[in-house]
Structures are given as C-alpha cells and as structure tokens.
Chains A and B, each alone.
Chain A
Amino acid sequence: MSGLDLWMRENPLTYILLGSYAVAALIFVIEIAMVRHKRTITLQQVSLMQHAAEEENT
C-alpha cells in the first residue's frame, strides 16, 4: 500500500472534502468568474461599437 492509500484510509473525510468537494467548488468558482468576465468584455465591445456608430452618424 502506498503512502497515499494509507493516508486516505486514515483521513477519509479530508480526502473526499479536499479531493472532490473543494475541486468541484473551485471549478464552479472558475466558471462563474469566466461567465462574469465574458459579460464584462462583451458589454465593453458592444458599447464601443455603439459609440463608434454614433460618432460616425454625427
């Protein structure tokens, strides 16, 4: 049995909390950050396009 095998059997809750739940939470946080970033970037692009079009018209 390797060291990791022994450790996970001695600390099963730490193993599942860190290995599964913390990783899943990290993935969700990254996804939320990416969605928010995409929204900010898209809004900036659309606003810039609109302002450029308005300036062209005037």
Chain B
Amino acid sequence: MAINWFKYAVPTTFYGLAGKLIPWFALSALILAAIGLYIGFAVAPADAQQGEFYRIIFIHVPSSILSMFLYMIMAGYAALGLIFNTRLSAMMATAIAPTGALFAFISLWTGALWGKPMWGAWWVWDARLTSELILLFLYLGFIALHASIDDPRRADRASALLAIVGSVNVPIIYFSVKWWNTLHQGSTIKFSGTSMHVAMQQAMFTMLAALWLYAAAVVLARVRSIILERERNTTWIAELPEVKS
C-alpha cells in the first residue's frame, strides 16, 4: 500500500498526527533518559584521568549534537518554506528554534561546568566554544527577527534567510577542533572507532536518543499551537473538539 507522504505536509492532517505522536515520544524519552542515567551513573566506571567529572558527557555531548542537528533541520524547513512556499515548513522552523536555543545553552552551560575542573576556567575563547556561542546567538536572532515582524508570512521569509545563512556555522562548530588548535578535545567517537568504554557509549547514545525524542515531542507540541494560531480562521479549526468545547 502506497503512503501519500504529502498528505502529512498539510497542517490539517499534521495537526492530528502530531497529537497522536507526542505522548509516545514523551514516554519513550522519559524511559530512555532513566535508562541512560542509570547506566551513566551506576554502571559506567570513573574515567582514568577525569575521575567522576567526565559524567557531564552524558548531557553535554547529546545537547551539543542536538543543538547542531536541530539548527540544520530548522534551516532545512526554512529553506523548504522559502522555496516551495509551504505553510507547515515555516511553522516547523519556528517551532524548532526555541528548543534548539535551549540545547545550545545547555551545551555551553554544561561545557563551562566541565571546563572549570578540567581546564581551570569556566570559559575560554576557544574556536569550538565561540562557534557554539554564535550558534546560540543565531537561534536567538532567528526567534527575535520572527517575533519582530507582524505579518507571519513576511516573518517566515526574513527569518528563513537568516537560518539559511547561519547554517554555515554548523560545519565550523564540528570541524573547529580539526581546523584550529583548540583547548576543547577532539571527537572521541569517530567512524573509525572509539576508545570509550562500552558502558560510557551506551549511556551517551541512550541519552542522545532520549533527548532526540524529547525534542521531537516538544517541537510537535509547539507546532500544534502555531498551527492553531495561524489557521484560526479556517473551518477545520472551528470543528476541532478542543476548540468547540
């Protein structure tokens, strides 16, 4: 049976689908976070050099990965909205931005807390840290620009351009530890393999999956409110049971 995927690109169908998916994503995120934290704190051994401090990795690395991926997804949706003038794409980009900004903030915050005992400083103007800070400012710029324009369609177009131009920062963050001589360590997990203990890997990837699912649930919940707001004058919104009651 062929599935018409374009059907789900329409706010009318997507609204209901998102509503059905949110509880599953939220519940899975909660379960995976509990498993990830259990492995990270009870099973994974202390690091030979960093002792217990390395356990910040289970929130720091997944948050950093998500802050970059969410930006690329946001820019992708913004570009789709700009090119094809699709309503849902722009709404999705708008819904992703606050969650992406929060993950960028958590990444910087936890990085500072890790940096203090390891480097002796909360902050250094290192290429990785500075480019991640720029990512946070790009998210905030996107949110502020969108909020400053009254007409939502014009706001979508203006902020889409910012998102697309800003996406150049994501590869800079990723490759910064290779291109420049940074204080921040290089990638521990590479395509060629890793030196990490298996329990550390399990905890980190479980937490990554948990945060992905959390982000999906929150973004879908936010986009449902945006759909309601923007489509409020349509008949299908008027017929929704939650609006009628």
Note all chain A residues with C-beta closer than 8 A to B55. Answer: 13, 16
The B interface, classified by DSSP as helix, strand, loop or mixed, is helix
As a 0/1 sequence over residues 3 to 34 of chain A, the CB contacts with chain B under 8 angstroms (1 = contact) are 00100110011011001110110011001100
Q: A8-B117, A43-B243 are in contact. Are A23 and B109 (CB under 8 A)?
A: yes
Size category of the A interface is 20 to 34
Note all chain A residues with C-beta closer than 8 A to B141. Answer: none
Note all chain A residues with C-beta closer than 8 A to B71. Answer: none
Q: A16-B113, A19-B113, A27-B105 are in contact. Are A38 and B243 (CB under 8 A)?
A: no
Q: A35-B218, A38-B222, A39-B224 are in contact. Are A8 and B59 (CB under 8 A)?
A: no
Q: How far is the CA of A20 from the CA of B222 in the complex (A)?
A: 25
Contact residue among B37, B99, B105, B225 (Cβ-Cβ distance under 8 Å from A42)? B225
Note all chain B residues with C-beta closer than 8 A to A49. Answer: 232
Q: Are A20 and B59 in contact (CB under 8 A)?
A: yes
What are 23 sample pairs from A and B whose C-beta atoms fall under 8 A apart? A8-B116, A9-B117, A12-B52, A12-B117, A16-B53, A16-B55, A16-B56, A19-B110, A20-B110, A21-B37, A21-B59, A24-B59, A24-B106, A27-B105, A31-B99, A31-B218, A32-B218, A35-B221, A39-B225, A43-B242, A45-B232, A46-B237, A50-B244
Which of B's residues lie within 8 Å of A, judged by CB?
A: 37, 41, 51-53, 55-56, 59-60, 63, 98-99, 102, 105-106, 109-110, 113-114, 116-117, 214, 218, 221-222, 224-225, 228-229, 232, 237-238, 242-245
Interface pairs A-B: 10 shortest CB-CB: A12-B52, A20-B110, A19-B113, A42-B225, A38-B225, A35-B221, A46-B232, A42-B228, A39-B225, A20-B56
